[in-house]
Amino acid sequence: MDVYRTKPVVSTGSDELDNKVGGGIPLGSLTLIEGGSHSGKSVFSQQLLWGSLRDGYRISLFTSENTVKSLMRQMDSLNLNVQTNLLLGHLRVYPMEVSKSQEEALESLLSAIKSEAAKERDLIFVDALTPFISGSPAGMIISYFEQCKRLCSNGTTVVTIIHSHAVDQDLLVRIQSLCDAHLRLRTENAGSKLIKIMEVAKIRGASKNTGNIISFEIEPGIGMRIIPISKAQG
| CATH number of the domain within which 168 lies | 3.40.50.300
Spatial contact of 89 and 116, defined as CB atoms under 8 Å apart:
no
1 assigned to some structural domain:
no
Contacts of residue 73, defined as CB under 8 A and 6 or more positions apart, other chains included, come to: none
Residues in the chain: 234
5 assigned to some structural domain:
no
| Cis-peptide, bond into residue 117, ω within 30° of zero | no
80 assigned to some structural domain:
yes
119 assigned to some structural domain:
yes
The H or E element spanning position 13 is none
Q: How many domains does the chain have?
A: 1
30 assigned to some structural domain:
yes
215 assigned to some structural domain:
yes
4 assigned to some structural domain:
no
165 lies in which domain range?
10-233
pLDDT tens, per residue, the chain with 234 residues: 344 566 789 999 999 899 888 899 999 999 999 999 999 999 999 999 999 999 999 999 999 999 999 999 999 999 999 999 999 999 999 999 888 888 999 999 999 999 999 999 999 999 999 999 998 999 999 999 999 999 999 999 999 999 999 999 999 999 999 999 999 999 998 888 889 999 999 999 888 887 689 999 999 888 999 998 766 555
Contacts of residue 111, defined as CB under 8 A and 6 or more positions apart, other chains included, come to: none
